[in-house]
Amino acid sequence: MHVHVLGICGTFMGGIAVLARELGHRVSGSDQDVYPPMSTQLEAIGIPLTRGYAAAALVPPPDLVVVGNALSRGNPAIEHLLDSGLRYVSGPEWLGPEVLASRRVVAVAGTHGKTTTTSLVAHLLEAAGREPGFLVGGVPHDFGVSARLGRGVPFVVEADEYDTAFFDKRSKFVHYRPEVAILNNLEFDHADIFPDVAAIQRQFHHFVRTVPRRGRLIVNGTDLRLAEVLEMGCWTPIERFGPSGSGCEWEVASEGARLAICRHGTRVGTVEWQMPGRHNAMNALAAVAAAAAIGVDPAAAVQALASFSGVRRRLEPLVEAGGLVAWDDFAHHPTAIAETLAAVRSRLPSGRLVAVVEPRSSSMRAGVHVDALPGALEEADRVLMLVRPELAWRPTALEQALGERFAALPSTNAILETLMAGGRPGDGVVFMSNGGFENLPRRFAVAWAAAHPGPADPTPS
C-alpha cells in the first residue's frame, strides 16, 4: 500500500511515517517546511519528502493519505484530496487500528512532561527486556528515533490533548484506548482550540472513559484539576503519585541528582540519575509506576533510571566552552519555564542564569500567559526575549517586573549578537521555545565554541 503523510516533518506525523514503513507500506510525505530532526530521520530510512502542499504530491493518487492536524480547509493538498475522493484518515485514527489494537498500550497525557515521561516509560520497559514499541513527540537519546514498532507487546504513546485533524476536533488521545494511562498534570493551554480549562478537562474525561477496568490510571495526586476530572467519572483503578509527604501511593524525594522512590510508604529504591529538576523527578516517578503496572519489577525500574539519557530539546546540553554552559529546551508555558529555570539553577549555584525565550505557541502569541510570565522568569538573572512586530502583545509587564534584567529583541540575529558580546565565564544560558527558533540555539553553540576553543566541542545537529 502507498501511504502519503501530509505534515510529515512534525514529530508525531513523522513517527506515523516510520511505523507505516516498518509495517511494510510504501511511504512518502510532504510538509510546508522540510527540516531536521525529522527530515533527516525520514530520509535516512528512504522516505521521500516533498516541500510544500501542492496537489501534485498526490498524483498519481496514493492508496491512503494520513492527514496531520496542522492542515486545514483551503490547503491545496486538502482541497485536492477532497475533490478527488481520495481515502484519508488522521494520524491517531490510523495509529489505533493499525498499531495499537494488538498491543498493551501505555499512554502518557498531561500539559507538561509528556515527551520525557513517554521516553522514560519506553526506556524502563526496554531495560526490563520488554522490547516496547513507542511513538514519542521528540527524539529520545537512548533510541535515536521518535518511533518504532518494537518486538514486544507493550507500546508507549505520547497522548496529546490537541485536536486530531481538520475533520475531527476531538483530542488525539481518545483514539488510543490504553490499558495504562498516565495523567501528569493539567493546566490551561492551546488557547487556539480550547476556550477555557473546563474544555480541556472534558477531553481528559473522555480519555479516562477509554481506559478499561482491568487497566490502571497513574495520576498526579497533587493536581486539583485532575482530581476534578476524576470526579466526572472513573471506572479504572487509580494509583496516585506525588512528592514525599503527599500521601500518594507512589512518592519521590529528590535531592540533587539522587532520587528515592517509595510505594505505599516502603522504599522501592534509590538512584543517581542525569535529569535535574523537581518536574523530572515527578516524570520519573510516574514512569516507574506505569512500568510496574505493566509487570516490571519496581526496584529494577528505579535502577534503570540511572541509564536514561534524556530527550533532544529537553534541557539538551548544547555547548560548554569558555566557562559558559548552554542548553536547549522545549519549555513554552509559564509553569514549564519556571520548572526549567529552577532545574538549571540547581546546576548553576553561583553563575548568571540567562533565559532566552521565543513566545511561539498559539497561547503565548495571543498573550494568554502574559500575566504569569514575570513570575515564571523570576529565577533568571537575564532574560532575552524575541519580540517580533506581529506579536499580539507588548512586554510591558516584563519590563516593569524585571527591569534591567529584561531585554526585548526583534530578531534572532540581535539575540545572537547580544549573547556573544555579553557572555561571561560561569554563565548558564537556556534557550526555550516549542519551535525552531531559527536554529538560534545551535548557531550560538557553534559561534561560542569557535570563539572559545578548548577541549569541549559543541553538539549541534
> In angstroms, rounded to a whole number, what is the distance separating the alpha carbons of residues 292 and 55?
48
CA-based nearest residue to 180, from 206, 148, 216, 153: 216
Mean pLDDT for the chain overall: 91
Q: Are 235 and 216 in contact (CB under 8 A)?
A: no
Sign of CA dihedral 57, 58, 63, 65: positive
Per-range mean pLDDT, top range of 36-45, 71-80, 181-190, 274-283? 71-80
Q: What is the pLDDT of residue 460?
A: 45
Percent of the residues in the chain that have a pLDDT greater than 70, as a whole number: 98
DSSP character for 438? G
User: How do residues 201-211 score in pLDDT, each as one tens digit?
Assistant: 999 999 999 99
pLDDT at 214 over 60: yes
> Of 24-33, 93-102, 432-441, which range is least confident?
432-441
What's the pLDDT tens digit per position in 374-424? 888 988 999 999 998 878 888 888 888 889 999 999 999 999 999 999 888
pLDDT confidence of residue 36 = 65
Q: How far is CA 15 from CA 92, 147, 236, 293, in A?
A: 11, 5, 29, 25
Residue 34 has pLDDT above 80, yes or no: no
Q: Where is pLDDT greater, at 143 or 367?
A: 143
Q: Is the pLDDT of residue 176 over 90?
A: yes
- 287-328 pLDDT tens trace: 999 999 999 999 999 999 999 987 777 778 888 888 899 989
- Is 80 exceeded by the pLDDT of residue 133? yes
Q: pLDDT-based confidence at 37, cuts 50/70/90?
A: low
- List Cβ neighbours of 382 (8 Å cut-off, separation of 6 or more): 352, 353, 354, 355, 405, 407, 422
Q: Cα separation of 263 and 251, whole Å?
A: 6
Is a pLDDT exceeding 60 seen at residue 459?
no
Give yes or no for residue 449 having a pLDDT over 60: yes
126 — pLDDT class (breaks 50, 70, 90): very high
The whole-angstrom separation of Cα 117 and Cα 125 is 12
Residue 112 confidence (pLDDT) above 90: no
The proportion of the chain whose per-residue pLDDT surpasses 90, expressed as a percent, equals 66
Mean pLDDT of 143-148: 91
Q: What are residue 42's phi and psi, to 5 degrees?
A: -70, -45
Higher-confidence position of 348 and 261: 261
Quote the pLDDT of residue 275. 83
> Is the fold of 99-307 the same as that of 316-451?
no
Give phi and psi for 147, each to the nearest 5: -155, 150
pLDDT, greater one: 369 or 429:
429
Q: Who contacts 178 (Cβ-Cβ below 8 Å, separation ≥6)?
A: 105, 106, 107, 157, 159, 210, 211, 215
pLDDT at 455: 60
pLDDT of residue 363: 73
For residue 426, pLDDT beyond 50:
yes
Write the single-letter amino acid at 142: D
Q: Ranked by mean pLDDT, which of 107-116, 218-227, 326-335, 361-370 comes out on top?
A: 218-227
Fold assignment, 316-451: Protein-Tyrosine Phosphatase; Chain A (3.90.190)
The distance in angstroms from the start CA to the end CA of the chain is 33
**2-93, what's its fold?**
Rossmann fold (3.40.50)
CA dihedral over 363, 364, 369, 372, signed as positive or negative: positive
pLDDT value at residue 376: 85
As a CATH number, domain 99-307 is: 3.40.1190.10
- For the segment 265-288, the average pLDDT, to the nearest whole number, is 91
In this prediction, residues 180-199 reach a mean pLDDT of 88
- What is this structure's pTM? 0.86
Residue ranges per structural domain of the chain: 2-93, 99-307, 316-451
pLDDT class for 35, splitting at 50, 70, 90?
Answer: low
Q: Is pLDDT of 154 > 90? A: yes
Pairing mode, if any, of strands 147-148 and 168-171?
unpaired
User: Tell me, what's the pLDDT at 461?
Assistant: 45
pLDDT of 38 strictly over 80: no
Residue 11 banded pLDDT, cuts 50, 70, 90: confident
